[in-house]
Amino acid sequence: MDKAELSRAARLAHLRGEGLAKGDPVPLPLTMASIYHLPGDPAGFRQYGRTDNPTIETLEGALGFLEDAEAIAFPSGMGAISAAFFGLLKAGDRLLLPSDGYYTTRLVADRFLKVFGIVIDTRPTASFSDGGFAGYRMIYVETPSNPMLDVCDLAAIARDAHAAGALVVADNTTMTPFGQRPLDLGADIVVAADTKAPNGHSDVLFGHVATRDAEAAAAIRAWRKLAGGIPGPFEAWLVHRGLETMEVRFDRMCGTAEILASRIAAHPAVASVRYPGLPGDSSHSLARTQMSRFGFLIGLTLESEGAAERFIAGCPLIQPATSFGGVHTSAERRARWGDAVAPGFVRLSVGCEPADDLWRAIEASLDALVR
Ligand SMILES: Cc1ncc(COP(=O)(O)O)c(C=O)c1O
């Protein structure tokens, strides 16, 4: 059979197997090493742990296979995002960011890029193209945005940004390569927090950059090597293990979120719901064209801060925690971090629990708010 006919998920499971010699372990060995046996001329050999590690290389191979691009691993999602900024921008460049995406990205730009003479503008994700892209060096999008789940048109933005001479960077954390493929839609660079669904078990911070632009990849790899932002091999090993089940977890999480979103929206305790899979959601029509799943995040607005806290605390199958994409369903009020959302807005990250159990637990906790 021609392997090209197989899905990415099927091939990922056997990627390492393709290169094994007789007697090799089938699972990925963990190599903890900062130094390598290196007598004489070092060229062409692993040299030092800040540049080379076989466990990280195998993980990058798997991430690159998923992205169909070169992947470069980082110790966190923010490490990957910062590398794209510091590796590719210079004084005088203009950077356009979403005003409603993950707030730390804006903080990094505001605090550390501005002082190097990079000019920063922001726009809401839902109207990101308004105003055009003339004069920008980098257009950075996050779609669906965290936490409000607005979306922007990746293909149209890539087309218009390229016409204006800008690079397009897409944060694909909320979707993963199984739910959305920004590089196929024209983005130059993907950044992602593998801390979330790719690792999936809430026990690791990790990130990656993926790109088909060899020059950008070389610059970002050089930034990592020189600035020292290399992940630990054990974390890479854990993420590699997580990737082996990502497709099944992501499928379950998105499937359950699709079931729950309309039920939550219909509950009398709920003022409103954001979920790109709901036909009435403002993200829906665009989401259908550029996402293959609608994701596992649901935004629900309850009456007040108190109602939101009671809902989270009262549900035995919701872990009160920041972050998302883990096997355990989790939730938090995003206003507690200063996001521009209603005090009763809850970001719910749907996990891998059976959908019926999860709905019964969520329904009971919502019922308690209106009793
Ligand atoms: C959309 C998005 N991008 C990037 C990050 C940063 O990832 P990390 O926490 O691994 O640095 C996060 C973290 O929540 C996120 O939600």
Three-class HEC string of the chain: CCHHHCCHHHHHHCCHHHHCCCCCCCCCCCCCCCECCCCCCCCCCCCECCCCCHHHHHHHHHHHHHHCCEEEEECCHHHHHHHHHHHHCCCCCEEEEECCCCHHHHHHHHHHHHHHCCEEEEECHHHCCCCCCCCCCEEEEECCCCCCCCCCCHHHHHHHHHHCCCEEEEECCCCCCCCECCCCCCCCEEEEECCCCCCCCCCCCCEEEEECCHHHHHHHHHHHHHHCCCCCHHHHHHHHHHHCCHHHHHHHHHHHHHHHHHHHHHCCCEEEEECCCCCCCCCHHHHHHHECCCCCEEEEEECCHHHHHHHHHHCCCCEECCCCCCCCCEEEEHHHHCCCCCCCEEEEECCCCCHHHHHHHHHHHHHHHHC
Sequence ranges of the chain with CATH classification 3.90.1150.10: 247-367
Banded pLDDT at 1 (limits 50, 70, 90): confident
Ligand 1 neighbourhood includes 102 CB (under 6 angstroms)? yes
- Res 3: pLDDT: 87
Q: What is the pLDDT of residues 19-58, one digit of tens each?
A: 999 999 999 999 999 999 999 999 999 999 999 999 999 9
Q: What is the pLDDT of residues 159-200, one digit of tens each?
A: 999 999 999 999 999 999 999 999 999 999 999 999 999 999
Sequence ranges of the chain with CATH classification 3.40.640.10: 3-243
Say which CATH class 247-367 falls into: alpha beta
Pick the CATH number of 3-243 from 3.40.50.1980, 3.30.1110.20, 4.10.520.10, 3.40.640.10: 3.40.640.10
Determine which residue's CA is closest to atom 16 belonging to ligand 1.
102
Give mean pLDDT, residues 243-258: 98
Average per-residue pLDDT in the chain?
A: 98
- Res 7: pLDDT: 95
Ligand 1 neighbourhood includes 76 CB (under 6 angstroms)? yes
Expressed in angstroms and rounded, the spacing between residue 193 Cα and the centre of ligand 1 is: 5
Ligand 1 neighbourhood includes 229 CB (under 6 angstroms)? no
Q: What is the pLDDT of residues 90-144, one digit of tens each?
A: 999 999 999 999 999 999 999 999 999 999 999 999 999 999 999 999 999 999 9
- Res 40: pLDDT: 98
Measured from the Cα of 76, ligand 1's closest atom is 10
Measured from the Cα of 207, ligand 1's closest atom is 10
Determine which residue's CA is closest to atom 15 belonging to ligand 1.
102
Q: What is the pLDDT of residues 272-331, one digit of tens each?
A: 999 999 999 999 999 999 999 999 999 999 999 999 999 999 999 999 999 999 999 999
Expressed in angstroms and rounded, the spacing between residue 102 Cα and the centre of ligand 1 is: 7
Expressed in angstroms and rounded, the spacing between residue 328 Cα and the centre of ligand 1 is: 18
Out of 74, 76, 78, 145, mutate this one to test ligand 1's pocket (max ligand atoms within 8 Å of CB): namely 78
- Indicate whether this model's pTM tops 0.85: yes
Ligand 1 neighbourhood includes 207 CB (under 6 angstroms)? yes
Q: Maximum Cα–Cα distance for the chain, whole Å? A: 77
